[in-house]
Amino acid sequence: MIFSVRHTTIFRYEPAVRESIMEVRLQPRSEGDQRCLNFALKVEPTANVMQYRDFSGNTVHHFDIAAAHAQVTVTAESSVEVQTVQAPRASDCGDWSDLDALIATGDYWENLLPSHFAKSTPTLEGLAKELGCERKGNPLEMLSRLNASVCKLFAYAPQSTKVDSPIDDALSTRQGVCQDFAHIMIALVRRLRIPCRYVSGYMFHRDEKEKDRSLEGASHAWMEALVPRMGWVAFDPTNNLVGGDRHIRVAIGRDYADVPPTRGVYKGDAQSELSVTVTVSPADKSLVEPPKPLFVVRPRPLVAQTTAKRVEQEQQQQ
């Protein structure tokens, strides 16, 4: 299926700022069963947009707006083809010894080590014990059970956590958003010496019958684990989904800190506000922008320099 995606982010500043520098990771990846057919990025005020690839192969666009401005609008439009693939079967999966052999011959150390948001804590260890998170069955069976358990134990509650919340916030309240659930599952899986990575992207919502917990109008996040004889397999603990053709991959990293949709700094003593709208639809249907943004956030900037404030990506993946 071919999807059309529009992702609009608006930063507002009061009073106007003197300059802002920003980088964005909004271009879908082309690999495996997914191909980005077209991508266009529009920035207002007009800026010279450049691009590079980061260490994970994600496309990063960056720009500098040197004149005074009270608003920045970033609109990314994509056309993405996602092929339908057969659901992974436990009978096709290798065993734990196959996984260990695979790890020994590959370069997966970055996907095995704790990272900024996905690391073990006493609370996480308690959850691992509660779930019986051990090397049982084969890797795919264990990952599928864990995926279902996280979905069942945690309530989906938009804006219950913040963009920079540690996993203990969601663990203590047993609620959060897709960003939290992906980090929790990654931290649990890495304990078992399974390479895994965070995926930033979008999810297509067909209709109410799907009973998806994640919301339309926002970006989405899930994780991928390395499964012997299968390669990287997607697990979405927010919706208890394994793989599927409704997930559109934009960027991969060790956790969210590697792949924020937008990140930047600005010069000036201003209060900032962020709003986001996302639409995903089949390419043969008209793509209509929602009348109002789904999320509006008024972030608290962190001081980076005397004359600049850091607007570390506040666009939480809900």
Q: 273-282: per-residue pLDDT in tens?
A: 999 999 999 9
Mean pLDDT of 15-35: 96
Q: Is the pLDDT of residue 314 over 70?
A: no
Give domain status of residue 316, yes or no. no
Q: Is the pLDDT of residue 290 over 90?
A: no
Number of domains in the chain: 2
> Whole-angstrom Cα distance, residue 2 to residue 163?
30
Give domain status of residue 236, yes or no. yes
**φ/ψ of residue 283, rounded to 5:** -65, -25
Q: Is the pLDDT of residue 306 over 90?
A: no
Q: Which domain holds residue 123?
A: 90-258
Q: 153-169: buried (b, 16+ CB within 10 Å) or exposed (e) per residue?
A: bbebbbebbebbbbbeb
pTM recorded for the entire structure? 0.91
Reported as a pLDDT band with limits 50, 70 and 90, residue 303 is very low
Q: Which of 116-125, 156-165, 170-179, 205-214 has the lowest mean pLDDT?
A: 205-214
pLDDT for res 284: 85
Question: Residue 167 maps to which CATH number?
Answer: 3.10.620.30
Handedness of CA 78, 58, 199, 115 (dihedral sign): negative
Rg of the chain over all Cα atoms, to the nearest angstrom: 20
Among candidate residues 242, 258, 274, the one where a domain is terminated: 258
pLDDT for res 305: 43
> Whole-angstrom Cα distance, residue 127 to residue 123?
6
pLDDT for res 86: 84
pLDDT for res 302: 43
One domain, residues 133 and 120: yes
pLDDT for res 217: 80
One domain, residues 127 and 240: yes
- Give the contacts of 88 (CB within 8 A, at least 6 positions apart): 140, 227, 230, 233, 242, 243
Give domain status of residue 317, yes or no. no
> Whole-angstrom Cα distance, residue 37 to residue 99?
34
One domain, residues 47 and 66: yes
Question: What strands lie across the sheet with 196-203, from one edge to the other?
Answer: 241-242, 231-236, 220-227, 196-203, 247-253
